[in-house]
A and B are shown apart, each in its own frame.
Chain A
Amino acid sequence: MRALSTYRRLVAANLTAELRHGPSALVGLVMSFGFQLTGLLFLWVVLDRSGGLGGWTKGEVTFLYGLRLLVRGLSLLVFGRLDGLPGLVHSGGFDRYLVRPLPPLLQVMAARVSLNALGDVVGGVTIFLLGNTLVRFSWSPTDLAYLVLVILGGCLLEPALRLIVASLSFWFVGTGRLLFVVDDLFNSAGNYPLSIFDGAIQLVFTLAVPVALVASVPATVLLARTPELGVQPLVAQAVPFAGLIWFVTAHRVWQRALRSYQSTGH
């Protein structure tokens, strides 16, 4: 509990620091949203040309896109990007975190509050609502409960993968760029219906690098398209729990990595 309140105060301090650079933070926020908007614009142009993508309508794809962006924004708000970690390990600055009375992971998470994520959240909610209108979605209580689980699971899933890749930097220097590739994959492949990929790639995107589990598979379930996944409905519905499993695994990897940390500084 004590750790939690320290964590809260660290976040508050860093948030204040971030707000000092008000205009810069605003630019970042707009950029982040703009970047995501490019992806949606691309999809819309494609969908206007074709009328559908793997059988999904423009509205359904928008629904999926909004859901993923929303989850991404929320997860970034809580977990940050972790992209500072490889640099900290490289420079030896990570040493400081080890002597402070707060778990190092919480310190890394609190080191930078990503205001850009707020742009993603606002953009995600807007696009998701737009998608809802386009497909005329009517929410049942079960759907809503499922949505909450999906958001929670997704919030754990993306950071879990980032945490694993970031942990690699304890063993291999220079994995920092790899974080961007993973991020890229979630930002691009995560926005498409799974059915447009070949069987082998579907396996990769659900099991190895589970970008499709954040929003693509859940959206398939919500939009009542589950049969196209080719698995038992129950398996598809259980997808939010994958986030928890991945996060627990990632945390294990992180702890192992921590034990083999050899400082580059003094």
Chain B
Amino acid sequence: MDRQIATWPNALAYLRLVSMAARTIYVYRANIGVNLLAMVVQLYLLKVVWSAVYAGRSTIAGVGLDELLQYLVLSNIQVWLLSPSLPAFVQDRVRTGQIAIDLVRPVAFRGQLIAQQAGTTVGMLPFVLLALPLAVGMGGLRLPSSLVMACLYAISLSLGFLIVTQIGLLLGLLAFWTLETTGFLALYRFVVQFFGGALVPLWFLPPPLRGVAELLPFQFQAFVPASIYLDRLGGDELLHALALQVLWVVGLFVLSRLVWQWAITRAVINGG
């Protein structure tokens, strides 16, 4: 079902899809505002709790409170920015039978979905500007230490985006079997919060839990890019982390392709 050759008209079609998804965001801007509010509340609570924990101590596990707060602000913005929109979308298309239209379009379905998620994330970028003053005010977020680090951060975050998109796509494809993805999305959300490092940086996890977190791809949405930004990953570690991200992207891409091929053989078009 997948079209192999991306021709120019296709590239244009993808761009249109991206911009459509980006514009859809503004229709739901009240939602984004509320999500932003929820994030600010969470950040405030994290700040209070961690400040209470640090009471009378300058560092824990070699991390100062200032740096920890910067980390938390950064990782929470990332989790919010990259939150997957595909599970709800695919579920809706499968349930209503509109998936039939998606399938006859001249752009491969998975491609449409990736474009859709890209558009959502691009559309949310301006809202980050709203969050930034808060980030600076609450967490004292500063610029990356150098231009190189800034670029490496951007690369890591982009790879993180691809990983989250593939995970979101896989969760969405579950709708072909279950017609229901809300539960899985909820599971995803709390796993990211904890094992991705949005509540606690992985430095603080006891070894067994940290081991589990490092085997999972969720760290690439929050922990890994944020650590790069804050200069916590240097030299070999950094290269190793980026290489691992690339491996995850490739692996998940192959997996989502296989699952898609399986899903399409089971596709039932509702109301067709």
Contacts and interface: CB of A to CB of B under 8 A. Distances in A.
Nearest to B183: A27
A53 B183 CA distance: 32
A184 interface: yes
Interface string A36-79: 00100110011011100110000000000000000000000000
Contacts of B180: 24
B52 A42 contact: no
Interface string B13-51: 000000000000000001100110110011001001110
B34 A177 contact: yes
A227 interface: no
Interface stretch (A136-144, A189-197, A230-238): A189-197
Contacts of B228: none
B30 A181 contact: no
B48 A197 contact: yes
B209 interface: yes
Interface in A175-195: 177-178, 180-181, 184-185, 188-189, 192
Interface string A217-234: 000000000000000000
Interface stretch (B74-82, B186-194, B249-257): B186-194
B21 to A, nearest CB: 20
A54 B52 CA distance: 6
Q: How large is the interface on A (under 10, 10 to 19, 20 to 34, 35 or more residues)?
A: 20 to 34
B199 interface: yes
Interface in A208-252: none
A177 B205 contact: no
Nearest to A173: B30
A192 B200 CA distance: 16
A189 B38 contact: no
Contact of A49 (B30, B178, B190, B204): B204
Contacts of A27: 183-184
A103 interface: no
A35 interface: yes
Contacts of B42: 184, 188
Contacts of A188: 41-42, 45
Contacts of A28: 183
Interface residues of B, number: 34
Given A53-B49, A177-B34, A189-B45, A45 B209 contact: yes
B37 A181 contact: yes
Q: Which of A32, A177, A192, A201 has the most CB of B within 10 A?
A: A177
B12 interface: no
Nearest to A32: B186
Contact of B200 (A46, A54, A184): A46
A46 B187 CA distance: 22
B178 A24 contact: yes
A31 interface: yes
A41 B194 contact: yes
Contact of B190 (A34, A185, A196): A34
A84 interface: no
Nearest to A184: B38
Contacts of A192: 45, 48-49
A117 B194 CA distance: 22
Contacts of A54: 52
A42 B187 contact: no
Q: Which of B42, B61, B186 has the most CB of A within 10 A?
A: B186
A48 B45 contact: no
A201 B49 CA distance: 13
A192 B205 CA distance: 20
Given A35-B190, A45-B209, A50 B60 contact: yes
B30 A31 contact: no
A174 interface: yes
Interface in B185-213: 186-187, 189-191, 193-194, 199-200, 204-206, 209
Contacts of A41: 194, 209
A38 B200 contact: no
A24 B190 contact: no
A31 B204 CA distance: 25
A45 B191 CA distance: 15
Given A181-B37, A184-B41, A188-B42, A31 B52 contact: no
Given A34-B187, A45-B206, A181-B38, 9 more contacts: A27-B183, A31-B183, A42-B194, A46-B50, A49-B53, A53-B53, A177-B31, A181-B41, A188-B41
Interface of A: 24, 27-28, 31-32, 34-35, 38, 41-42, 45-46, 48-50, 53-54, 174, 177-178, 180-181, 184-185, 188-189, 192, 196-197, 201
